[in-house]
Amino acid sequence: MADIDALVDELTRAEKLSLVRGAPDPESRATGYLPGVPRLDIPPLRLVDGPLGIRAEGERATAFPATLATAATFDPGLAREQGAAMAREARAHDQDVLLAPGVNIVRVPHCGRNFEYLSEDPVLASDLGRALVAGIESEDVIATVKHFVANNQETGRTTISADVDERTLRELYLPPFRAAVEAGVGSVMTGYNRVNGTHMSDHGRLVGDVLKDEWGFAGFAVSDWYGLESTVGAANAGLDVEMPGVPAGPDDPDEEFEWPDGIPDATHAGLFGEPLGAAIDEGSVPADRLDDMVRRVLGQMARVGLLDGRDRPGELDSERHRDIARDIAARGTVLLDNDGVLPLADDADVALVGPHVHTAKLGGGGSSETTPFHSVSPVDGLEARADGTVTSARGIPEIENVSLFDLLPFVDSGHEADDSGPDEEPSLDDAVAAAEDADVAVVCVRDATTEARDRDSLALPGRQDELIEAVAAANDRTVVVLRTGGPVETPWRDDVAAVVEQWYPGQADGAALAEVLYGDRDPSGRLPVTFAPEGSYPASDERRFPGIDDVAHYDEGVFVGYRHFDTADDGPTYPFGHGHSYATFEYGDATATGDATVEVPVENTSERPGREVVQAYVRPPTVEGTDRPEREFAAAAPVRLDAGESRTVTLDLDELALSRYDGGWTVDGGHYTVEVGRSVADVRTTAAIER
């Protein structure tokens, strides 16, 4: 490995400054670019979006399912495979840093970026984020975990301050980032937001003291794009790299332009570089701070082989990458309700209805947008699988496709509108007629989410609820397939035969959907977020979301998601961890085999194979003067069992679920009840642990 200290000593001041401030990519493909130092054989460093696959300008790549779909598998092994595959595709595009994964906690169901995140629970988000990072880094690509920290909404994201107490930060919002550091993440991206009044790029306590000093993070901290607020404050806080480092805006500098809410002012750039050099000269930033910044960048470049000429071949759109994308899409599909209509009979005549049934749902809008080489629509997927007749009808007009890039008229993003198939005007009557003539009606509906904009409502947009109700009235064997970036309202659920949550399934959309609907695969996804009526979430008042006077008050503390609903008067529509299977499983008695380990026998009692996700939740002892959640998610183990097969499943409980933060980490002495079951609301057996 290169001698980093020797390299730093040889660099001139100008060369050092060029390694901490982004510059234009000569090939116009990278999302971010550091030019390197040719005279010392330091190559450029190229950074590329994103969490659902590679978004190199003008290029194609495998379009993986939304990160929330990966989370729904509850399977770190599968997440690691995805991370490694995305890294190989980054290398195929000659990119060195992948701007992924996103691990922010799903605090607000309206957040337009929830589809990029992993869970409302810190243990699940940590387990899956750790796996994604390990997969990316295993292929000699630098992972970038984002957005540090408490970046939980898109409304006012460049100005909002998260007013959050230390305990809540430590127990809920920081753990996934710490897990990424433990997994060897090479880069951490700061959020646009403020925390308790201080912009994250300037947050010396969280970036410098916690991330670097306390956790021992050895990589580099990079700003979100145009998210640097100051030169001196950021450098002294511990930020190492400014991106993209060069201003952007309308072609005419005199043109009046108001930056939309959620979009950073792109003319506010170049705060590192010459301004940083001036700050060092005047003594407001120590000279050794610049050396540390450069050392961190070069250290990560050396670690992935960029400084020693290591061969780093890539892999693009390979059969195994297609298989991984399809596997995640299928295994992340959640069967929310089923009265026996699923799985479909091979010879069933199916009416496939929905405004976008001719288009694969690739993802949400923004930096995660990926252009695949090929994709499979629901129509293509079902027609390829069915023995019976598949009749399609759009029923209603298409749902507007929203994107961050549509908010910037001077940006040519290459963002394309959906091609929803036939040109004829959609007809609700045609959809109803198709449903009446079919054995089963399948209605595919979607929401519309994007970076930089939160959803106004959890209701399905457009006339989709009307479409579902009309089809359900025409056919009592109606299946609704949700393709959403998070929870949505389901006012018609009692009128339909089955409800399936497919999230944003990516390029394998229709193929994975057909596999699940026809029972070729068990619907083994489980909810990583709680579905509930819109007004019942803890951050449902203006003070908490979207905030007042640019402050979002995290008054709910750690009581987010299922932790809130455990104590609420009204229960959720579908609880955290919920998901049905086509198989049936029986649990034996759970046994504590250590102070943080539980074993439970599980048997598939059906006549078909199935995949169960065994989950463990911990109820802590009561301690006077403490206010803890009734229970906390502690572990999960996905297990595939053939018909009649039994297996003893081992659950290693995460210490976070046993701990609380009170100026330091504490594990209270006493009796802990470990609940083992199929969801937070479906407990099958318990065990006791004494501490």
The catalytic residues are: 224
Q: Indicate left, alpha or beta for 81 from its phi (over 0: left) and psi (-120 to 50: alpha).
A: alpha
Rounded to an integer, what distance in angstroms lies between the CA atom of residue 448 and that of residue 455?
8
Residue 414 gets which letter from DSSP?
-
Contact 581, 644 (CB under 8 A): no
Alpha carbons 73 and 331: distance in angstroms, whole number: 6
Burial of residue 87, with CB atoms counted within 10 A of its CB: 0-12 exposed, 13-18 middle, 19 or more buried? buried
User: Would you state the structure tokens that stand for residue 510, as one six-digit string?
Assistant: 């229709």
- Per the DSSP assignment, residues forming a β-bridge with 47 are 32, 97
Q: Which amino acid is at 678?
A: R
For residue 21, give Cα distances in angstroms to 10, 211, 284, 306, 448: 19, 21, 18, 18, 34
Q: Do residues 36 and 43 touch, judged by C-beta distance below 8 A?
A: yes
C-alpha distances in Å from residue 570, one per residue of 246, 554, 613: 50, 21, 26
Amino acid at 354: G
What count of residues does the chain have? Answer: 691
Contacts of 205 (CB under 8 A, 6+ apart): none
| Structural tokens at position 442 | 């399948």
Q: Is 358 left (phi over 0), alpha (psi -120 to 50) or beta?
A: alpha
Residue 389 CA to residue 478 CA, distance in Å, equals 16
**3-class state of residue 458 by DSSP:** coil
648: left (phi over 0), alpha (psi -120 to 50) or beta: beta
Return the bridge partners of 311, or none. Answer: none
| Cis preceding linkage at 358, omega within 30 | no
CA atoms of 200 and 161, how far apart (whole Å): 10
3-class SS letters over 155-168: CCCCCCEEECCHHH
What is the tally of helices (H) and strands (E) in the chain? 16, 26
Any bridge partners for residue 661, and if so which?
665
Rounded Cα distance between 360 and 262, Å, is 27
Q: Compute CA 366 distance to the chain's CA centroid, rounded to the nearest angstrom.
A: 13
CA distances from 690 to 87, 408, 525 (A): 43, 57, 32
In whole angstroms, what is the distance from residue 428 CA to residue 395 CA?
Answer: 4
Beta strands, E only, 439-590: 440-446, 478-483, 498-501, 551-553, 585-587
Dihedral (Cα; 472, 474, 475, 481), 10-degree rounding: -40
Structure tokens at 250: 């309308």
For residues 113 and 247, what is the distance between their CA atoms, to the nearest angstrom?
25
> How many angstroms separate the most distant Cα atoms in the chain?
79
Question: CB atoms < 10 A from the CB of 615, how many?
Answer: 26
How distant, in Å, are the alpha carbons of 91, 141, 152 from that of 312? 7, 9, 36
**CA gap 21, 34 in Å, rounded:** 7
